[in-house]
Homo-oligomer: A and B are copies of this chain.
Amino acid sequence: MYNNIKIGLLGGDLRQVALAKKLASMGFETAVWGLGVGGSDMLGEAVKCVDFRSAISSSSAVILPLPISADGLRVNCPLAKDSEELRLTQLVGLLEKNTIVLAGRLTDETRAVFDSGGIKIIDYYESEELQIKNAVPTAEGALAIAMNELPVTIRKSKCAVLGYGRIGKVLAEMLNNMGADVTVAARKSTDRVWAETVGCNSEDFKEFFKSDEKFNVIFNTVPSCIIGKEELSKIPLDTLIIDLAASPGGIDVKAVRESGHKVIWALSLPGKCSPFTAGEIIGDTIVDILRREGVVS
Contacts and interface: CB of A to CB of B under 8 A. Distances in A.
A151 B197 contact: no
Interface string A66-83: 000000000000000000
B197 A152 contact: no
A136 interface: yes
B151 A148 contact: no
Contacts of A141: 147
Interface in A125-169: 128-129, 132-133, 135-137, 140-141, 143-144, 147-148, 150-156
A78 B240 CA distance: 25
Contacts of A137: 153
A30 interface: no
A261 B152 CA distance: 31
Nearest to A143: B147
A interface SS class: helix
Interface stretch (A97-105, A205-213, A268-276): A268-276
A173 interface: yes
A128 B193 CA distance: 10
So how many copies of this chain end up in the complex?
Answer: 4
A244 to B, nearest CB: 15
Nearest to A216: B276
Interface stretch (A87-95, A107-115, A174-182, A220-228): A174-182
Interface in A193-215: 193-194, 197-199
B150 A148 contact: no
B154 A147 contact: no
Contact of A155 (B140, B152, B154, B155): B140
A173 B144 contact: no
B152 A276 contact: yes
Nearest to A157: B277
A190 interface: yes
A189 interface: yes
A14 interface: yes
Contact of A277 (B14, B152, B277): B152
Interface of A: 14, 18, 128-129, 132-133, 135-137, 140-141, 143-144, 147-148, 150-156, 170, 173-174, 177-179, 189-190, 193-194, 197-199, 273-277, 288
Which 3 pairs across A and B sit closest by C-beta, in order of nearness? Answer: A144-B147, A151-B276, A177-B177
9 contacts: A128-B190, A132-B193, A135-B197, A136-B153, A140-B153, A141-B147, A151-B274, A151-B277, A189-B288
